[in-house]
């Protein structure tokens, strides 16, 4: 059942991803100022949204572990943070490429949106060193969950603080009115967001299944050794 579910997720992700690529390059119009390079927007922004949502979701999973003691929630939180970190690196890389073309610099330190995302990324880079510095499995899971909950609560607070900033260079494309994007750009953005979200969920599912299989193999190995 799990294999079939993963296969279905992979096929769905591939189909929606193909639709997103087609919409980005064939349907969405070229930006009048930036031209073709503006297409990075359809990868960079959805990936940033999915990454931040992943960090918050990991905090919720960590809270579920603290409340129930069910180790499966700890595993879900760990895998979600791991995939979110991979996506965060891609966000920083695509953002730097876009900034270089748009602003003439690889990085702009006085831009709150960029710096705040970097702070979140560096915060979560501490997660795995903290987790694996603790040998006892129960303490490891508990401390990791506390970190996930605390850091996950910081993410929306940090985002709101940035949205309230008066001085910024980073474009505000996501607003209550949809910004200044024409309908074709908004539709393409939604398709790209769906594709990135599915990619995140598929990678998370694949890693979860891999971790669960590895845990089960270790359990059976210990049982076999104990039976000798």
Task: Encode pLDDT of 166-180 as tens digits.
Answer: 555 555 555 544 456
Q: How many Å apart are CA 122 and CA 118, to the nearest integer?
A: 6
Which residue ranges make up each domain of the chain?
2-23+37-222
Q: Residue 74, class by beta-carbon neighbours within 10 Å (0-12 exposed, 13-18 middle, 19+ buried)?
A: buried
Using H for helix, E for strand and C for coil, what is the string for 88-133?
HHHHHHHHHHHHHHHHCCCCCCCCHHHHHHHHHHHHHCCHHHHHHC
pLDDT tens digit sequence for 13-71 = 999 999 999 999 988 888 767 777 788 889 999 999 999 999 999 999 999 999 999 99
> What's this model's pTM, rounded to 2 decimal places?
0.87
| Cα→Cα distances 219→169, 226, 228, Å | 53, 11, 15
In angstroms, the CA 172 to CA 105 distance is 19
- Write out the two tokens for 191: 């398709």
Per-residue pLDDT tens digits for 107-165: 877 777 888 889 999 999 999 999 999 989 899 999 999 999 999 999 988 877 776 76
Q: What pLDDT does 76 receive?
A: 95
């Amino acid at each position: 059942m799990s294999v079939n579910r993963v296969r279905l997720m992979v096929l769905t992700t591939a189909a929606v991803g193909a639709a997103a690529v087609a919409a980005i390059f064939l349907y969405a119009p070229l930006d009048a100022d930036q031209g073709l390079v503006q297409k990075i927007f359809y990868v960079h922004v959805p990936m940033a949204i999915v990454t931040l949502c992943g960090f918050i979701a990991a905090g919720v999973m960590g809270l579920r572990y603290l409340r129930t003691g069910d180790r499966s929630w700890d595993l879900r939180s760990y895998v979600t943070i791991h995939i979110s970190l991979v996506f965060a690196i891609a966000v920083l890389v695509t953002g730097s490429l876009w900034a270089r073309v748009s602003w003439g610099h690889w990085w702009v330190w006085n831009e709150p949106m960029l710096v705040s995302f970097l702070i979140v990324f560096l915060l979560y880079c501490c997660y795995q060193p903290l987790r694996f510095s603790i040998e006892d499995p129960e303490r490891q899971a508990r401390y990791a969950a506390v970190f996930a909950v605390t850091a996950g609560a910081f993410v929306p607070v940090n985002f709101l603080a940035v949205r309230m900033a008066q001085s910024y260079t980073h474009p505000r494309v996501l607003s209550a009115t949809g910004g200044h994007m024409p309908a074709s750009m908004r539709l393409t953005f939604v398709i790209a967001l769906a594709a990135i979200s599915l990619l995140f969920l598929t990678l998370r599912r694949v890693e979860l299944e891999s971790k669960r299989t590895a845990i089960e193999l270790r359990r059976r190995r210990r049982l076999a050794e104990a039976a000798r």
